[in-house]
Amino acid sequence: MTQEFSRTEMLIGSEGIQRLKNSHIAVFGVGGVGSHCIDALARGGVGTLSLIDHDQISLTNINRQSVAFHSTVGKMKTKVMKAIIQDINPSCQVYTWQAFLLPDNTVSLMEEIIHTASRRPDYIIDAIDTVAAKLSLAEYAFQTGIPLIASMGTGNKLHPEQFEITDITKTSVCPLCRVMRRELKKRGISSLKVLYSREPPITPIPGTEEGEKRSIPGSISFVPPVAGLLIAGEVIRELAMG
């Protein structure tokens, strides 16, 4: 019978479809990487998605985020993403948290996610920006044995073909990877699956965003989405193939 995932079933079989339907994935960050990753997970037939992001959609998100339109500016990213998922796959269970992940709330937030979904995630996807939060999530996954893939920096890049999925110990060039390697070693964590770019970061032309005091990276429409799709592909293959 023809249905949403008929073409997917031709590649991974009915058992793969069922494994994805039975899977629970927690995605931290609904931005340029996370939103496109979530979109692909929903279109891939994942049955339960927990989405965590504290932010509202802004005008400057429109150049790269699947949730960002002029009509959605000012709305919560998680709420807009949930509506998109429900239009793609109405049977997908979607839970949302408007929360900023911090080292001191990681465990309690994960416990809440597990309680709400009535099960542990089968996979955690880190699509967040702050080093402290990324390290905290890596520590949690290491201690609990939940598979995790973390996105490294996608800003100040123009060549998505230079993305690679590998272990953090095998990375080079990326400044964020360098910091993560050092900090993970301090915590006794020797391995972490990451998506990173071999492209040296571009020095951005100074921006003109009003009220912005901190340094922000440049971004473009085709780089963060590719990262999100590559991560979704990695997770879907692992879960579908068993």
The encoded tokens of residue 93 equal 């269970």
Confidence of residue 210 (pLDDT cuts 50, 70, 90): low
The encoded tokens of residue 217 equal 């990276």
Tens digits of per-residue pLDDT, 172-201? 999 999 999 999 999 999 999 999 999 999
Contacts of 24 (CB under 8 A, 6+ apart): 47, 48, 49, 50, 117, 119, 120, 121, 122
Confidence of residue 242 (pLDDT cuts 50, 70, 90): confident
Question: Residue 1 pLDDT > 60, yes or no?
Answer: no
Inter-residue contact 131 to 176 (CB < 8 Å): yes
Q: Round to whole Å and give the CA distance between 198 and 176.
A: 12
Instruction: Determine the pLDDT at residue 145.
Output: 98
CATH code at 8-157+219-241 = 3.40.50.720
Instruction: Determine the pLDDT at residue 206.
Output: 82
Q: Round to whole Å and give the CA distance between 123 and 24.
A: 7
Instruction: Determine the pLDDT at residue 213.
Output: 54
Segment 44-60 shows an average pLDDT of 98
Mean pLDDT of the chain: 95
pTM of the model: 0.96
Segment 202-216 shows an average pLDDT of 73
Tens digits of per-residue pLDDT, 100-155? 999 999 999 999 999 999 999 999 999 999 999 999 999 999 999 999 999 999 99
Question: Residue 211 pLDDT > 60, yes or no?
Answer: no
Inter-residue contact 134 to 159 (CB < 8 Å): no
